[in-house]
Amino acid sequence: GSPGAGKGTQAKRIAARYGIPQISTGDLLRENVQRSTELGVQARDVMARGELVSDSLVCDMVKDRLRQQDCERGFILDGFPRTPAQAGWLDAFLEHEFFDKSRAGKCRPIVILIDVDYNQLLLRLTGRRTCLANGHIYNVHFQPPREDEVCDLDGSKLVIRNDDREEVIRERLTAYEQQTRPVAEYYHHQGRLFAVNGSLPVDTVTDEVFREIESHVGTA
C-alpha cells in the first residue's frame, strides 16, 4: 500500500493476532548499522556517500533475519519487497530454504494490498499534526484537536512534519506509483494479490485483512 494507507497499523495487529514477528526493513537497517555488523558497516559506508542501499544488501539483512527461530511459524514483512527484483529474490529464498519440505503443500506468501483513493491519502497525510512535546498525532480532517493547533493532552503546539507537507507527499506518492506499484502487479500476475479497501474504518479493514489471511493459509 501507498504512504498513509495504514500498513503499519494493520501489520501490528496481524503480528499480535498470530504471534509472529513484524519485520521492518527500516528497523533492520538501523539495527545493523547501530550494532556495526558486517552488513551494517557496508550500509553505513554507502549512506555516508549519499547513495541508496543496494537490493543485495537489503536482501542479505532480510535473509539473516528470516533464519532466526521466531520466524519458523511465519512473519509479516513491512517495507519489503519494494521492487519486483526484491519480490523475485524473496520467492527464490523461501522456495529454497524456508518451506518445510516434508509438507505436501506449501504456504506461499499472502500479499495484501491496502487500497486507498489518492485524494483520501492526501487528506490523511496533509491533515496530520504532531504534538511537539510527546508526539501525539491528530488529523485536522478526521481527528482534530479540541483547540486549533493545540494538543488536547498536554497543551503543546501541534506542527506539520516536513514529511507531511503537500509537496513532499506528492513526491512520495509519485515514487510509490513508479517504484512499488510494480510489486503489486508482480503478485497480481501470480494470482497471489488480495486487495482490501483501506478507506473503510480501521477495525473493518482489520477484519477484512484477517479474513483474507485465514482463507488462504495452507494454500499452495
Active site residues: 7, 82, 128, 161, 172
CB–CB of 109/48 below 8 Å?
Answer: no
Can you point out the beta strands (E) in 30-121? 76-78, 111-115
Q: Rounded to whole angstroms, how far apart are CA atoms 126 and 60? A: 35
φ, ψ dihedrals at 209, nearest 5° = -60, -50
Determine the length of the chain.
220
20, 75 in Cβ contact below 8 A? yes
Spatial contact of 192 and 111, defined as CB atoms under 8 Å apart: yes
Q: Are 116 and 122 in contact (CB under 8 A)?
A: no
Please, what's the b/e burial string for 15-42 (b: 16 or more CB within 10 A of its CB; e: otherwise)? beeeebbbbbbeebbeebbeeeeebbeb
